[in-house]
Amino acid sequence: MAPSSYRLDPDDPRAPTQEQWDSLTPAERTRVVDNLPSEFPVSEANPPEGDPHFEAKIRAREVLGGFFSRVGRKVYLGSELPVYYPGERMFAPDIIAIMDVEPHSRMCWVVSAENKGLDLAMEIIVAGERRKDLERNVERYARLGIHEYFVFDRGRLKLNGWRLDESRRTYRPILPQHGFLRSEVLGLELQVDDERLRFYIGGAALPEAQELITRLEHMVERVEANRTALEQQLAEEMRLRAEESRLRAEESRLRDEESRLRMDAERRLAEALAELERLRGKQG
């Protein structure tokens, strides 16, 4: 059960205000986090948007996760993870990024418990209602202090971005530069390319999972081809060495045979000369 000092309303699930949170004991805080729902009420759940929405969301998370893993930076990336700001209703962006925190598995992101809010939120639209993402979220996410907010309109192949004006707690549009929207949070550029949201660094696109697999397959093929060629080369070298050894042995045998024949011829010549001398001695 939730602690008596804070009671969760199942019809209006919210995290405690910061004042309420600060008044809770560590055990009470743990129970609050454990009791916060990880799903929207059925009446408020967004309708499913099919494979294009799912694939765009998963692809973005995988690409970013792979990149930050390779560069060795700790980043938590969530997808439709319930997010609780103090005293606010729960929401769950398609993608969230919080920089320089432990990327372990979570059931929800409770700002008071994590001592940090979101650095970036992203929504992906395919065919759903656009006002929530392009209007209401722009006001809400700025008010909550989320530094950057991006909307990838998969249905219309458009990308919008906003960055927080810290002094006013309002968003300013991120203007494209050479066709890219730059994310200060991620340190990357974003662009819609061939119906996909792509991430870039220094003008080079970050590889997607399938692209990495294809590259690895080509590398393996090249390694296999090189190994086969090397094996063939080694086999040919061994054959040539064996042939060279055989020829040397044959040459040595021929020399031995020649020496034997010469010695035999010399022996016979000596015997013939001796016999000739003997005959000459008899005649004399």
Condensed to tens digits (0 to 9), the pLDDT of residues 186-205 reads 999 999 998 899 999 999 99
Q: Which residues contact 88 (CB under 8 A, 6 or more apart)?
A: 14, 15, 144
Condensed to tens digits (0 to 9), the pLDDT of residues 100-123 reads 999 999 999 999 999 999 999 999
Condensed to tens digits (0 to 9), the pLDDT of residues 24-82 reads 999 999 999 998 987 765 445 566 678 888 999 999 999 999 999 999 999 999 999 99
Burial class (CB in 10 A: 0-12, 13-18, 19+), 180: middle
Q: What is the pLDDT of residue 43?
A: 47
The DSSP secondary-structure symbol of 207 reads: P
Q: What is the pLDDT of residue 75?
A: 97
Q: Which residues contact 198 (CB under 8 A, 6 or more apart)?
A: 190, 191, 192, 205, 206
**Helix extents (H) in the chain:** 18-23, 26-35, 50-71, 111-114, 131, 137-144, 209-283
Confidence of residue 284 (pLDDT cuts 50, 70, 90): low
pTM for the whole thing?
Answer: 0.73
Level-2 CATH architecture, domain 18-206: Alpha-Beta Complex (3.90)
Range ranked top by mean pLDDT from 172-181, 202-211, 272-281: 172-181
The DSSP secondary-structure symbol of 1 reads: -
Integer Cα distance of 196 and 239 in angstroms = 55
Condensed to tens digits (0 to 9), the pLDDT of residues 135-186 reads 999 999 999 999 999 999 998 999 999 999 978 889 999 999 999 999 999 9
Asked if the model's pLDDT at residue 213 lies above 80, the reply is: no
Confidence of residue 209 (pLDDT cuts 50, 70, 90): low
> Percent of the chain having pLDDT more than 70?
89
Of 260 and 199, the one with more pLDDT: 199
Q: Residue 197: beta bridge partners? A: 192
Q: Residue 190: beta bridge partners? A: 181, 199
For residues 244-265, one letter each, b for 16 or more C-beta atoms within 10 angstroms of the residue's C-beta and e for the rest, the string is: eeeeeeeeeeeeeeeeeeeeee
Q: What is the pLDDT of residue 2?
A: 44
Residue 54: CB atoms within 10 Å: 15
**Domain boundaries along the sequence of the chain:** 18-206
Lowest-pLDDT range of 10-14, 18-22, 189-193, 207-211: 207-211
Q: Mean per-residue pLDDT for 215-227?
A: 64
Q: What is the pLDDT of residue 158?
A: 95
